[in-house]
Chains A and B, each alone.
Chain A
Amino acid sequence: MVYVSRRYAFSATHRLHAAGLSDAENQAIYGKCNNPHGHGHNYEVEITVAGPVDAVTGRAVDLAALDALAGREVIGPLRYRNLNEEVEAFRTAVPTTENLTFEVDRRLRAVWAGTFPGGVPRLEKIRIWETERNICEVRGI
């Protein structure tokens, strides 16, 4: 079993504002991330898969297939978007790095077996860098 990690990048706008909280509470919790005009980040997404190394190719994952999947399901739909306004999941959920990581995990898991028959390699974890210093990780169940 080998763990292969691949990194991708996209840039997007978001605003952190919880509908159920008052303006003062939102300001207190999210600080400058609550700016009503939104703000942006260069996000980095790391996808880690786990699987056996194929005896012929020496590969544990078809990287072209992974790149195509990540491009179609994650990077394409999110890049240069306003996450709050243009991504369905964030019409209700606050686009924190936590929720963004869950969303990326959900998007990939929903179609994983279609690209990787039998779920091999398996999707092991997702890490997202919002900035150099804010990193969120979700591991598969």
Chain B
Amino acid sequence: MIISKKVEFSASHICRAPGLSDAENERVYGAAANPLSHGHNYIVEVAIEGEPDPVTGMILDLKRLKDVLEERVLSVYDHRLLNREVASFENLVPTVENIAIDIWKRIERHIDASGRAWLYSVRVHETNELFVEYRGGT
């Protein structure tokens, strides 16, 4: 069984790869390559897989999950310029793909200590027209 929790953060980013020329960056990222940055209201959906505990009827403590997301993701990302203020993106372009992978890495080991529930996927919506899903692995 899979249960999902949705949270939001707002942040700015610059999509420019240092190894590419200005023209290549414009071609790859379009308007998102603006060196002065731009921002989004991101929506993050975290899906947890597991079986409900026979006593509580819950896959995991959702309040605890909320706290993990708050502490490990939202407090780091929210109202920040991701390129400059989040260490993960010092040498990594903060595309929505890399944001989803970074969120996975930040929370994967903190989902549930009992081993009964584990992270299934991280979905990040950058706009209404674009979202990505990461399920771990390469």
Contacts and interface: CB of A to CB of B under 8 A. Distances in A.
A103 B7 CA distance: 35
Interface size class, chain B = 20 to 34
Interface stretch (A22-30, A55-63, A85-93, A110-118): A55-63
Interface string A1-44: 11111111000000000000000000000000000000000000
A59 B93 CA distance: 9
A77 interface: no
A7 B98 contact: no
B35 interface: no
Contacts, number: 62
Interface residues of A, number: 18
Interface in A55-110: 56-60, 62-64
B28 interface: yes
Nearest to A4: B132
B97 A59 contact: yes
7 contacts: A2-B101, A3-B134, A3-B135, A56-B19, A57-B29, A59-B95, A63-B30
